C-alpha cells in the first residue's frame, strides 16, 4: 500500500466519521474532531504505527 492509498483511506475515515456524527445526533452536537483533539491524536498515531510496521516488513 502506498502513501496515496493511506491518505485517501484516512480522509475517507474522517469524512465517514463526520457524516455518522452528523446523522446520529442533533445538529448542535460537536463533531468528534472537536473533542479535545484526541481523535486527531488517535488518527496520527495509528497512521504512524501502520507506516512503521510496513517499512519494517518491506526491509
Contact set with other proteins (CB under 8 A): 1, 9, 13, 16-17, 20-21, 24-25, 29-32, 35-36, 38-39, 41-43, 45-46, 48-50, 52-53, 56-57
Burial of residue 26 (CB within 10 Å: 0-12, 13-18, 19+) is exposed
Q: Give me the count of residues in the chain.
A: 59
38-58 and 3-24 helices cross at what angle (nearest 10)? 150
Least CB distance to other proteins at residue 58 (A): 10
Instruction: Name the minimum Å distance from CB 52 to other proteins.
Output: 5
Nearer to other proteins by C-beta: 7 or 29? Answer: 29
Amino acid at each position: 500500500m502506498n502513501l496515496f492509498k493511506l491518505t485517501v483511506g484516512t480522509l475517507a475515515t474522517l469524512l465517514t466519521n463526520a457524516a455518522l456524527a452528523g446523522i446520529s445526533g442533533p445538529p448542535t452536537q460537536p463533531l468528534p474532531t472537536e473533542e479535545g483533539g484526541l481523535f486527531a491524536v488517535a488518527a496520527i498515531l495509528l497512521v504512524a504505527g501502520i507506516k512503521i510496521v510496513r517499512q519494517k516488513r518491506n526491509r
